[in-house]
Amino acid sequence: MLIVANWKAYVEDLTKAKELLVVAKRLAKTTKHTIVLAPPAPLFGALAIPNKSSVAFSAQDISITTGGAETGESTAQVYATVGATYAIIGHSERRAKGETNDSTATKLAHALAHGLTPILCVGEQERDEEGRYLSFIRTEISTALEELTPKERGKIIIAYEPIWAIGKTASEAIHPSDLAEMVLYIRKILTELLPGKNATRTQVLYGGSVEAKGAYELEIDSGINGFLVGHASVDPLLFSALVKKIM
């Protein structure tokens, strides 16, 4: 399983970040899962550059630019230089600040060009009885992958994060059967966009109020390949419990 710890802006000092890194390294040694940390940009180099463990690192976002006179921007190349191997693209919190399907597509291309594995986030604001949210998910995925080559499309990881489930308890969030249906639907979309059997090989993660409670059920009953973890990833006890709960 691929477990991506998105620290967001919860971690604001290096001491706390290093403590969480120690926990992640221990989990990487004692479990079979791949642990990926996504720290805030200013802390990235201090953690990732000296890293010699099985823990991997991801950018929380990358710039739509490729360098130059762009004050405050962090490009894909910068992240690749300081040790990132993944990049979270199109997270719901970035989309809420104005990121579009088109800008997400541009960022995917930049990430791939610099050897980063993109984690494309998709998810609906709410569910309707008519099923219009399915068309919304289709558009998010197809627009993001439209300009990529078949080979590039095969390198994308999909993270399904239903926005309506964020901030809820595990019991209030998505049911395993509903998640299983969405994973099948996402793979159906990918089958239309990727050649051969690549759609079945694409990793699909779940993010949306991920907690230790309920994680096992989501894993075994839905067909997901891992989790994109938010707030729980910055609590050593909660994150350890979550990782150990997963098969």
Per-residue pLDDT of the chain (247 residues; tens, 9 = 90+): 999 999 999 999 999 999 999 999 999 999 999 999 999 999 998 998 876 778 999 999 999 999 999 999 999 999 999 999 999 999 999 999 999 999 999 999 999 999 999 999 999 988 887 778 899 999 999 999 999 998 999 999 999 999 888 776 666 778 889 999 999 999 999 999 987 777 788 999 999 878 888 788 888 878 899 999 999 999 999 999 999 988 7
For residue 70, give the CATH number of its domain: 3.20.20.70
Active-site residue identified among 99, 124, 140, 161: 161
Cα distances (angstroms) measured from residue 217 to each of 152, 165, 179, 187, 224: 32, 16, 11, 20, 11
Give residue 213's pLDDT: 81
Rounded-to-integer distance, Cα 198 and Cα 169, Å: 34
Three-class DSSP labels, the chain? CEEEEECCCCCCCHHHHHHHHHHHHHHHHHCCCEEEEECCHHHHHHHHCCCCCCCEEEECCCCCCCCCCCCCCCCHHHHHHCCCCEEEECCHHHHCCCCCHHHHHHHHHHHHHCCCEEEEEECCCCCCCCCHHHHHHHHHHHHHHCCCCHHHHCCCEEEECCHHHCCCCCCCCCCHHHHHHHHHHHHHHHHHHCCCCHHHHCCEEECCCCCCCCHHHHHHHHCCCEEEECHHHHCHHHHHHHHHHCC
Q: Domain containing 100: what range?
A: 2-245
Active-site residue identified among 33, 91, 124, 140: 91
Q: Total domain count for the chain?
A: 1
Amino acid occupying residue 245: K
Give residue 49's pLDDT: 84
Give residue 172's pLDDT: 72
Give residue 117's pLDDT: 98
Give residue 132's pLDDT: 85
Active site residue 91: yes
Active site residue 161: yes
Give residue 169's pLDDT: 66
